[in-house]
Chains A and B, each alone.
Chain A
Amino acid sequence: MKKLVFVFLISCLTFLSCSEDQDDKISQATITLSFSHHWDGNLVSNADFNTIKFTNAFGTQLSIERLRYLISKVTFYKTDGSKTELQGYNLVDVTNNQNLTFTSPTPIETGTYTNVSFTFGFNNEDNAGNYQDLNSASWNVPAALGGGYHYMQFDGKFINTSNQEQGFNYHAIRAAENPGDNPTFPQDTFFAVDLGAVTITNNTTFNIEMNIAEWFKNPNTWNLNELNQMLMPNADAQILMYENGLSVFSLKSIN
């Protein structure tokens, strides 16, 4: 008997809902960020990993074996100066082809925005949090370097001056000096990536590109023979990474 009442209720609901969603005005939109990767215009996926097939600005040949990075704080700015920050962060894992798209759990109001941005890595406040998913992914930075999380792990091999393959670990973190109980932080090395003005009328995907080659190019031509491993405790190297990172991302399209 109870079951029949239930079916009746469901029926009513279904009929009611039919009339609803036709001309329902969407005033909220879901935002997705989709990440693709290239090397000076040539698309790069994990299928291109593990082979020496790239040449950086310095002229060094190299391979990519692992690439993952964190983005956070997707922020929408309005003309009146107010801003909306979307919840969540995303660990883009190119190696395992995971999280190449990120859809925020919080929707955004439709309308016109003067700028949209996301943060590469975590800002210092977010970096002080404890995140179970990131800990489970072994994404941490040692406490002696200030703790928190990696911004990027970019590992591979390059052909060194003795013509041998050698590993590199281009790991971007918050630059830290005086490792130990009281490390100091010379400057911030997370940064905001601006995607520009946009009018949101509907669910929207931002297609974002990373030119991996830029990490080695601009403004600092990166010499892997000198800077290849143990870069986490090297604050100067972290600042060079930060400077090069500023031109790595671009907006390809919005749809």
Chain B
Amino acid sequence: MRLWKLHIILILLACFSCENESVDQYVATPYQLEIPKLFQDNILAPVIPVDNPMTVEGVELGKKLFFDPILSGDNTQSCADCHAPENAFSDTRKFSDGINGEFGNRNTMPLFNLAWNYDEKFFWDGNTFSLEHQALVPVADPIEMNSTWLDVELKLQQHNEYPSLFEDAFGTTKIDSNLVTKAIAQFERTLISANSKFDEYLLGQTNLTSEELNGFNIFMDEARGDCFHCHGSDKNPLWTDNAFHNNGLDQTFTDLGLGAVTGDPADNGKFKSPSLRNLAFTAPYMHDGRFATLDDVINHYSEGLKNSSTIDPLMKKVNQGGVQLTTEDKAHLKAFLLSLSDTEFVGE
């Protein structure tokens, strides 16, 4: 009996779809994301949502939007003002100021390899799911671009170029926040950094200095750096686990981080492990930009750890402030970290 109903529905559907057959569904030119060899060989495929396939026109539009101050309330600030390409799409300032000169309390995050954030939790505290949703936030944030989506949609709609660019990318001249963020997300997925000296070393194209090599050993040695449990390795070329940890910055927290998102006190003071790629361009460091130099960061792990109930159990000798690396080990660790910087990426 049920099957008959199904058949009737199928037949009806078939009839309706006949009418549609002549209408061409607009399809933009598919964009082939170039996946670096080390990523291809070692880690899972990037996350590209089925409802936002990448297209040449979409990526181009996203790039234009990313660099266009039209997205801000007074047309003075673009995404790139805080996410500068020459700084691996981050900001040299501790806190970036929005269009009203107000400062947030978090350091701007660099943008690369975002399509490989498999859990798709974005921001330091992971509060936003997916790149598409992320791009909604800064536009309307009063201390960032301080606009409204209605206003942005209107400005783009009245612009002399954008309507036709949206048509090329999405087959419609009707612009809305959904399509704007889709285009930006497509562009962001093309920001791939995989050509550091260390990558070349892994590909057999160059040699490391003995300092860099020793630094890598310290990084991988549970008794010294033990950085690999959270920050990737030669087998995880993202150089992050994209997970949330308390790495011992504070005894008490002014910014609860993940804890404010989950409401679980056991998550207080936890932030996303950043990728260690491109550190040469992304100072200052940590979620609040508290460390100006890599030496500060290494000293923190070596002897500056602060105990708290949520400090990660991987942190060692916390009552002594850390594992007390030797001066030489520190220098070598730093040399290794810098070998993860990709000058080609910031030159683009």
Contacts and interface: CB of A to CB of B under 8 A. Distances in A.
Interface of A: 3-4, 6-7, 10-11, 14-15, 18, 49-51, 65-66, 130, 132-133, 135-138, 140, 142-144, 155-157, 164-169, 171, 179, 229-233
A11 B312 contact: no
Interface of B: 3, 6-7, 10-11, 14-15, 17-18, 41-44, 118, 217, 220-223, 226, 228-230, 232-236, 241, 266, 307, 309-316, 318-319
Nearest to B119: A96
Nearest to A140: B235
17 contacts: A4-B14, A6-B14, A10-B10, A11-B7, A66-B313, A130-B235, A133-B44, A135-B43, A140-B228, A142-B220, A142-B222, A143-B234, A144-B217, A156-B313, A165-B309, A167-B313, A167-B314
B312 A135 contact: no
A138 B236 contact: yes
Nearest to A156: B313
B315 A7 contact: no
A142 to B, nearest CB: 4
A83 B223 CA distance: 42
A229 B43 CA distance: 28
Nearest to B266: A50
A82 to B, nearest CB: 35
A136 B43 contact: yes
A15 B312 CA distance: 60
A206 B38 CA distance: 38
Contacts of B241: 137-138
A157 B313 contact: yes
Given A7-B7, A11-B7, A167 B315 contact: yes
A18 B266 CA distance: 54
Contacts of B310: 50
Contacts of A167: 311-316, 318
B220 A136 contact: no
Given A4-B14, A138-B232, A144-B220, A168 B313 contact: yes
A171 B223 CA distance: 13
B230 A138 contact: yes
B38 to A, nearest CB: 10
Nearest to B243: A138
A207 to B, nearest CB: 29
A136 B222 contact: no
A11 B319 CA distance: 73
B313 A132 contact: no
Contacts of B44: 132-133, 136
A15 B307 CA distance: 68
Given A14-B3, A66-B313, A168-B313, A142 B236 contact: no
B266 to A, nearest CB: 4
Contacts of A11: 7
Which A-B residue pairs are the 4 nearest by beta carbons? Answer: A167-B313, A50-B266, A142-B220, A3-B14
Contacts of B236: 135-136, 138, 140
Contacts of A164: 319
Contacts of B217: 144
Contacts of A231: 222
A155 B14 contact: no
A135 B42 contact: yes
Contacts of B234: 143
A60 to B, nearest CB: 14
A230 B222 contact: yes
B313 A155 contact: yes
Contacts of A169: 222, 313-314
Contacts of B232: 138
Given A7-B10, A155-B313, 16 more contacts: A3-B18, A4-B11, A7-B14, A14-B6, A66-B313, A135-B43, A135-B235, A138-B241, A142-B233, A167-B314, A167-B316, A168-B313, A169-B313, A179-B221, A230-B316, A232-B222
Contacts of A4: 11, 14
B233 A140 contact: yes
A132 B35 CA distance: 14
Nearest to B21: A3
Contacts of B309: 165
A179 B223 CA distance: 12
B123 to A, nearest CB: 19
Nearest to B224: A230
A168 B317 CA distance: 11
Contacts of A168: 313
B306 to A, nearest CB: 13
A136 B318 CA distance: 28
A4 B11 CA distance: 7
A136 B237 CA distance: 9
Contact of B11 (A7, A232, A233): A7
Nearest to B39: A132
A65 B313 contact: yes
Contact of B43 (A15, A132, A157, A166): A132
A22 B170 CA distance: 48
Contacts of B15: 3
Contacts of B17: 3
A159 to B, nearest CB: 13
A168 B222 CA distance: 12
Contact of B220 (A15, A143, A230): A143
Contacts of A229: 222, 316
Contacts of A6: 14
B20 to A, nearest CB: 11
